[in-house]
Chains A and B, each alone.
Chain A
């Protein structure tokens, strides 16, 4: 089945450590995204990528970094500079950016807890 795989489902880290969240898709989608979800809030865009080796900051990129070396993969690194990293992180993909009838498909998320 085609889809988006995020791993791990739960992740625990100590404060001050960098951590990388994995996102892989086999939908052959060009665009990929990272969102953060906090209780009682909507999804907020961290980074997105339209093509390989290219990515743009979203609304809350500070303290995060990404790479897009392969079409299928878009890992997110939560750095120690992120002041409030505990959250539910969602990866998504779509056929194209700037296109109607190209809704986002989401993975099942990674819940990161930093203590």
Chain B
């Protein structure tokens, strides 16, 4: 079946370094992707999104890259801060599937001081 997954369950980075969180998807019909951040005991918080007609989108300290050829999505966080420690989820939406999102299992980002 179709799935959304992540390469690494846990990522540890030093404060100030750049972080890269990866996500693989298998549904070639997916046309909209979102990254969410979830802190412990809280609901997911929207970070950034990208449509399939783009390959890069930048926000404040974050960049999402989309490689449709290999069905790969990444979230880059510049100058990682302790407050960035959280679980990061990618989610995909497929054309014709309404706004129902399929979520990956998440990557735990740990920022070391």
Binding site for B on A (CB under 8 A): 4, 6, 31, 40-45, 48, 50, 58, 90, 92, 94, 96-109
| CB nearest to A102 among chain B residues | B99
Interface residues of B in 81-113 (CB under 8 A from A): 89, 91, 98-106
Prevailing SS type, chain A contact patch: loop
Q: Which residues 29-47 in B have Cβ within 8 Å of A in the complex?
A: 32, 34, 36, 41-46
Say yes or no: A109 contacts B99, CB within 8 Å. Answer: no
Bound state CA distance, A96 and B98, in angstroms?
9
Known A58-B100, A97-B98, A98-B99; contact A41-B105, beta-carbon cutoff 8 A: yes
Question: Cβ of B72 < 8 Å from any Cβ of A?
Answer: no
- A41–B6 alpha-carbon span in the complex (Å): 11
Q: How large is the interface on B (under 10, 10 to 19, 20 to 34, 35 or more residues)?
A: 20 to 34
Give the residue name and chain of the A residue nearest to B35 (CB).
A103
Q: Is B21 an interface residue (CB 8 A)?
A: no
CB contacts (< 8 Å) of B34 on chain A: these are: 103-104
Which of chain A's residues have a CB closer than 8 A to the CB of B99?
Answer: 31, 94, 96-99, 102, 104
A sample of 18 inter-chain contacts (CB < 8 A) reads A4-B43, A41-B105, A42-B106, A44-B103, A45-B100, A48-B100, A50-B98, A58-B100, A92-B43, A94-B99, A97-B98, A97-B99, A98-B99, A101-B49, A103-B34, A104-B34, A104-B46, A108-B41
8 Å CB contact of A43 from B46, B51, B103: B103
Cα distance A68–B21 in the bound complex, in angstroms = 37
Is B4 interfacial (CB 8 A cutoff)? yes
If A97-B98, A103-B49 touch, whether A42 touches B104 (CB-CB below 8 Å) is yes
